[in-house]
Amino acid sequence: MGLDPPDKTLSHFEVLGVPATFAHDADELEKKFRGLSIKLHPDRFARKDPVERKNALAWTTALNDAYRALKDPVRRAEYLLSRAGFLLEKQDLGHAFLEEAMDDRERLAEAKASSPVEVERLHAVVLAKRDAALRTIAEAFALFERTRDRAALDVAANKLARLRYHQRFLDEVEGKIHA
């Protein structure tokens, strides 16, 4: 027999054959994904027995799922944290942050009604907050990978939960959602 089915216990990192780390170059991940996709594409197994065709399709699905989860740094952070047992929904964001997020949303609603320039300014402010959160997340994962101190993952989880608020704000400003 040729192609075996993918092991259901493989992580997304193992499926793509990359280290289980936060720091990945997007181009390198894509190259790895493309190479494996070509090698395991179901069309290459079209003349094989039905089991091998089914296994090729299972590998393609596993590869697509892995790449989708790992190509985006936010989704990669979510995946790593979930594997470490963190529930982002359980993160305490603090009263001050939630108040700030509500204030940002109120200012956005007012600006949308009266000032495109203010909308752009608010967009830039929240974009800077999101980018700062991403940098902190990357630093926290790098610290964890060096020291194995789970407190670094606490920092990453908290920043990631906050980043979700920033991203929803940016999505609304950019017209990806309609509030």
Residue 113, domain member (yes or no)? yes
Q: How far is CA 79 from CA 19, 100, 170, in A?
A: 14, 27, 22
167 and 107, same structural domain? Answer: yes
Whether this model's pTM surpasses 0.95:
no
Query: Could you tell me the end-to-end alpha-carbon distance of the chain, in angstroms, rounded to an integer?
Result: 54
Q: Give the CATH number for residue 27.
A: 1.10.287.110
pLDDT tens-place string over residues 111-132:
999 988 999 999 999 999 999 9
Residue 1, domain member (yes or no)? no
Residue 47, domain member (yes or no)? yes
Residue 18, domain member (yes or no)? yes
47 and 120, same structural domain? Answer: no
pLDDT tens-place string over residues 39-86:
988 888 888 888 888 988 999 999 999 999 999 999 999 999 999 999
Residue 108, domain member (yes or no)? yes
Residue 3, domain member (yes or no)? no
Residue 165, domain member (yes or no)? yes
Residue 179 has pLDDT above 70, yes or no: no
19 and 61, same structural domain? Answer: yes
Residue 82, domain member (yes or no)? no
164 and 96, same structural domain? Answer: yes
> 126: domain range?
88-173
Name the domain count of the chain: 2
